[in-house]
Structure 1
Amino acid sequence: MSSKDHHTYMDTHFVAQEDDDAAFSELQDSPPRRKFRLTFGGWIGAAVVTFWLLVAILGPWLAPYGENDLPFPDDYSEFQHPRAGAPLGTDFSDRDILSRLMYGASRTIGISIAATLLAYVVGVILGVGAAVAGPKTDMVLSRINDAFLSLPTIMLGLVVVAAVGSSIPILIVTAGLVYATVVYRLARALGVEIMVMDFVEAARLRGENTWWLVAREIWPNAAMPLISDFGLRLIYVILFVSSLSFLGLGVQPPRADWGSMVRENLGAFQSYDGSLVPVVAPAVAIATLTIGINLIVDDISAFAGGKLSGRM
């Protein structure tokens, strides 16, 4: 190749390179990876949830009285108004509402978190297993799950607790298995959706086994929707456990939890000069905790792309 031909080739190459650069410059840049940030409402929810978690953990040690102690033994009177020594007043047995609220937080929140974790362990294992095991296993597990899912949750809980008795382990297992059916549906839907993706097919063609697909492909892509649903499921479990206690089949007296505190102090509405705080305080505790969790879940769901409600 002559020097003249060489220069002509190089000029043509640079012109083609500039044309390619110009063409690629018109393409949109890939969106940057977003960092999860809480909104103002999310920060409020995080503060409320953190407060109640601290109360649940430290409450039994920080409570001004014992769970069943009487703050005014020489001045026995039910539903006393807030006063020095009992900032939230007393209940139907003249026990300190603040102390019982703090003791009840550890039981209501502890039982609910344990039951939700159990629901996720059972539901995710079975749901993802059904998605990857094949159509026959999927059909059998899904039909069994549908049968339990068709039963009303409160009715199922009442039947189980009434049949085997009420205790904290039974409450945890009952609530966990009741809500494992819903977690199963979500985990299976996510698993089936991810299993038909191109990157999963490519991994199969490479010869990757099922455990590798679950650990490296399904779980990383399903984690955020499952985390979002964990918060929602925790709200439902809190209401479920509180409802059982309100009906007298949850935590049994004299131990306190928020649902039983509402039930045992309903007489405050019939008291002419008594305080309503014994009923209002645990109800407000349940409401603020569930609203706080929901505010955090809203931010997580928005970060995940807002597709959680459709998958559910």
Structure 2
Amino acid sequence: MESHPTMPRTRSALAPAALLTLLLSACGTAATSSGEGGGSDENTSAVTVEHAMGSTDVECTPQRVVTLGQGQTDSVLALGVTPVGVVSPWTDDWYSYLPDEVNEAEVLGTELEPDLEAIAALEPDVILGSKLRHEALYDQLSQIAPTVFSETIGVTWKENVSLWSEALCLEEEGEQIVTEYEERAAALGSALAERDEADTEVSMIRFMPDQVRIYLTGFPGSVLRDAGLQRPEAQQVEDWASSDQLIEISEERIPEMDGDVIFQMVSSEHYAQQGSQTVDEQIERWTSTDLWQNLSAVQAGNVVVVDESHWNLGGGIGSANAMLDDLEDHFLDGE
């Protein structure tokens, strides 16, 4: 999942120092509090988590969890834990694939501007974020509660699930849900091979109000890769780890969008309100061109519109399984 600079703003990420200090002195840090959430006592144990910002001791098992990103929220819920605080989704409403429990969490600002005052007021046991998004806030967050950061998001989502499960003292559960996902993806690949469809080349594109993207790697690319699906030559990369996760294209590069199947992620109305034109206007302009109409996938009727919330925005194991749902529905007719 890439950054979204047009996110709506709520409260400032940089709380006034005096107010934050008062909040911290009132609630203490989660590691030493004795209220709800596994405060330290003779019967609790702790785990030392190595992460992108160093190492952090977390009391087991944390109950009051704050997540600062979509992938963290997604994966914590998949582990059976309902966060007490989350940042808002990239869209106006919560993603439909998420369990209803997400609505029980307090919204703590945005992923780009989390509200430190509100986080401190929740007295969390642990805070989960990423160095990519929140490196500048790490010291302040660590004063509130033990804080664990992944290095980045997107392509590393499976490693991140392992990190979150370790921070929640749920390592076995984390290993189990990743293994189940990988077995499911491999089964899809085997089914495609049995149908002689293993060489099917899949393209991923996304229309936005002000730009159009082709996705190469990243979160959605990794799910296609796990399922054994091939990519068109124009979308193949030499080095998976260092490649750009996506490219922005102009209309003359429409031929690079082609494949046996094109999965088209469409931005929501939330984004449409931010640009100079709506997503529908962008799609109409591009898909009315001869270059689009001449794509083999278009001529074969193999353009599949999919929900961007789980193909791109969620970035966790819940959204990965929701992607597999779509792939199974398309390639296996819902078998």
TM-score range, shorter chain: under 0.3
TM-score by length of 1: 0.21
TM-score by length of 2: 0.20
Q: Which has the higher contact order (CA 8 A, sep 6+)?
A: 1
Structure number with the higher strand fraction is: 2
Structure number with the higher helix fraction is: 1
Greater CA radius of gyration, 1 or 2?
Answer: 1
